[in-house]
Structure 1
Amino acid sequence: MSRLHLTFECQGRTCVGTIDTAPGTTGLLIVSGGNEIRSGAFQGQSRLAARIAAAGFPVFRFDRRGVGDSDGENRGFRKSGKDIYAALEAFRAIAPNMQRVVAFGNCDAASALMLAQGDLCDALVLSNPWTIEDDTGALPPAAVRSRYLEKLKNPRELLRLATGKVSLARLAGGLRQATSRAPAPSSLAQEMARGLDASGKPYVILLAANDRTAQVFEAQWPSDLSAENQGEVRRCEGASHAYVEPHARDWLDQQILAMLRR
């Protein structure tokens, strides 16, 4: 196994990718979220790639246009379909023995894969998909209820309430939010659901239980639009957005490897 850096073309621009080689005939394409470079926050995606390659599967990461080492204009995740397509072609070209590709994306990278209908991929691992169009910072009612239930299980929080160390005005506002109606699915969530249905690809949706993006996704996701292409939704308790906790990191690896081994 080795790590190689290479360039490929997308719409006349030069993009940069990295492959961790391995003998397997199924490979993993990692799509970066936000404006994150291909190594990921604190080298998280680089380390993920090394672990998956060590298990026998080649892994390809890339910087989309306008991000990191790649040329061009950064047009955001909604318009990154051509970047994903070009990266997949480059991956297949450098690993000609590969017969199957699983794509993994966290946050708006998962959203981008849904919107692109999983072009050229054979399966999708979609983590904490981004469904927020107007980010006001407010949690959905279900997430607020979950937070209050956790507090009620904590003796320290109950003691704070009994001793008057909790703001009653803030508590009342939180209770109003917790009992309000869930918002209607955003147009972005509906576009993503339609794209996922149209892809016809097997998929798994992974949710970090402590992540706000995942909590909003659960409230926004129009599950009735996914009736024809049922995938699985799996949750990791105690996990944050990037799965930095040791148990969450191991769980994420297991979920990805399970899809690669199908």
Structure 2
Amino acid sequence: MRHQLSFACEGATLAASLDAAASGTGLLIVSGGNEIRSGAHRGMAMLAARIAEAGHPVFRFDRRGIGDSEGANDGFESSGPDIAAAIAAFREAAPHVTHIVAFGNCDAASALLLHQPLALDGLIVANPWTYDSDGEESDAPALPPASAIRARYLSRLKDPRSLLRLFKGEVDLRKLFRGLSALKQPPQQRAPDSLADRIDATLAELLCPATILLATDDRTAQAFIESCGPSLAYIEKNPSTLRVERLASASHSFAGDDGEWLAQRILAVLAAQASAIA
């Protein structure tokens, strides 16, 4: 059953939703960008229902200045107090919940990483945002890293159907030339305090188990892979409290059939957390 409730955060009243369930291990969903707690095309609301149906309570909320919540929207980098207040509100609304795992996609994933330590028992972060500009304000989508562009075009050159589309004039040449031009640009040096550097540093200091989910054909995930490649390579060769799982998809929000892949990965983490405390 879904309940609507509210809680306080630094003088503002924030709106929240709780999908009730019996398990003592719950999921906190942090929305990305300026999305309300229901998510893009109600994706997070449907995910919450799916997880709750499997037995785990789910708490979602609108951060300050978003959706039904009061206050000023200062972006994901200022959302630490919102997340902390949501964790406390989740525990109060569902007293039987003893362990909480948080999930966030895009800049919500970055927020969960940046604002550690939080009173959480696990993290699931998907396609973390590593660009230093606000993706919500950009009219043109960011290009993927040059390595990703090279890999994509190489795969297309090997695909007879892609070559046939090119010869038949079915390829957008403007997009093609824009992508190819990015290969000529030298890699930009990151500032020492860039978002990518801060996230990369956080990966080495996490105090709770974390799972990183990547849709490998998504531009945001590709930028994360490019920025934090050495850390990811080390994690995958030396798995301990950090794990990386990849899905060959371009769906940034895990839409359509990819939604079940996402739900299964989240349920696996929740089940592992529940069995660890049993």
TM over 0.5: yes
- Contact 2:145 2:222 survives alignment (8 Å): yes
Q: Secondary structure at the match of 1:111?
A: helix
Greater mean alpha carbon deviation, residues 207-216 or residues 157-166 = 157-166
Superposition map of 1:199-218 within 5 A = 199-218=206-225
Greater mean alpha carbon deviation, residues 20-29 or residues 170-179 = 170-179
Read off the aligned partner of 1:123 and give its amino acid letter.
G
Count of aligned pairs: 260
Q: 1:253 is matched with which residue?
A: 263
Aligned partners of 1:50 and 1:209: how far apart in 2? 26
Q: Secondary structure at the match of 2:204?
A: helix
**Structure-2 change in CA distance of 1:40 and 1:172 (3 Å):** closer
**Structure-2 change in CA distance of 1:110 and 1:167 (3 Å):** closer
Q: 2:148 is matched with which residue?
A: 143
1:164-210 per-position Cα deviation (integer Å, ceiling 9, x unaligned): 88799986775564476654556101112333433311111111122
- Contact 2:208 2:241 survives alignment (8 Å): no
Read off the aligned partner of 1:63 and give its amino acid letter.
D
Greater mean alpha carbon deviation, residues 212-221 or residues 170-179 = 170-179
Superposition map of 1:79-158 within 5 A = 79-134=78-133, 137-158=142-163
Q: Quick check: 1:243 aligned with 2:265?
A: no
Q: Secondary structure at the match of 2:148?
A: helix
Aligned partners of 2:13 and 2:172: how far apart in 1? 55
- Contact 1:243 1:252 survives alignment (8 Å): yes
Read off the aligned partner of 1:117 and give its amino acid letter.
Q
Q: Quick check: 1:220 aligned with 2:227?
A: yes
Q: 1:44 is matched with which residue?
A: 43
TM-score by length of 1: 0.89
Percent identity of equivalent pairs: 49
Aligned partners of 1:191 and 1:87: how far apart in 2? 24
Q: Secondary structure at the match of 2:260?
A: helix
TM-score by length of 2: 0.84
Q: 1:60 is matched with which residue?
A: 59
Q: Quick check: 1:197 aligned with 2:188?
A: no
**Structure-2 change in CA distance of 1:22 and 1:125 (3 Å):** same
Aligned partners of 1:38 and 1:138: how far apart in 2? 28
Which stretches in structure 2 are left out of the alignment for 5+ residues? Answer: 273-278
Greater mean alpha carbon deviation, residues 212-221 or residues 162-171 = 162-171
Aligned partners of 2:170 and 2:64: how far apart in 1? 50
- Contact 2:5 2:16 survives alignment (8 Å): yes
Using the TM superposition, give the Cα deviation of residue 144 of structure 1 relative to its aligned residue in structure 2, in angstroms: 0.3
Aligned partners of 1:158 and 1:143: how far apart in 2? 19
Using the TM superposition, give the Cα deviation of residue 85 of structure 1 relative to its aligned residue in structure 2, in angstroms: 0.1
Using the TM superposition, give the Cα deviation of residue 242 of structure 1 relative to its aligned residue in structure 2, in angstroms: 1.0
**Structure-2 change in CA distance of 1:107 and 1:168 (3 Å):** closer
Q: Secondary structure at the match of 2:222?
A: helix
Aligned partners of 1:168 and 1:64: how far apart in 2? 41
Greater mean alpha carbon deviation, residues 24-33 or residues 150-159 = 150-159
Aligned partners of 2:175 and 2:78: how far apart in 1? 40
- Contact 1:184 1:220 survives alignment (8 Å): no
Q: Secondary structure at the match of 1:199?
A: coil
Read off the aligned partner of 1:80 and give its amino acid letter.
S
User: What RMSD in Å do the two structures reach over aligned CA positions?
Assistant: 2.6
